[in-house]
Amino acid sequence: MAGYEMRNEPNVFFSTYEQFKQDTPGSIRKLAYFLGEEYGKLLDRDEDIFKQVMEKSSPEFMKKIMEFESTDSADGKQQDVKVFNFVRKAKVGDWKHYFNRELLKKMADKIEEKTKGSDIMSLWKQPTEQDL
């Protein structure tokens, strides 16, 4: 919530994953200009650099560089990398594959409790049981 409350500060770049997925090129350019006008202009005039940034921002690239042989979990057990994927499918709405009606209700209740008095949830369409 603290980050959201600061979203309009001049030194804060705020975006959602859904916004990034909807317009990846626009989001990358917006971030570049936020970091400095020279970076935005560089991407505007050099298509090769822009393509490199697009490629390195892709879930496929991130999955490739974040592959682990195995990893230690918090309880000290080794986990198979397929079970402990740092980058999952990178699809908007993939939560549907992990939530049942009971979990959706628990999550909705917890979100309502934590965001009471804020408009943060207006950033997303609210999931319902029909979405499952």
- Higher confidence at residue 116 or residue 28? 28
pLDDT at 11 over 90: yes
Predicted structure pTM score:
0.67
Greatest mean pLDDT among 22-26, 73-77, 97-101, 122-126 = 22-26
* Integer Cα distance of 3 and 119 in angstroms: 13
Is residue 33 predicted with pLDDT exceeding 90?
Answer: yes
User: What string of DSSP letters covers 74-123?
Assistant: TTS-EEETTTS-SS----TTGGGGT--HHHHHHHHHHHHHHHTT--GGGG
Residue 26 pLDDT: 97
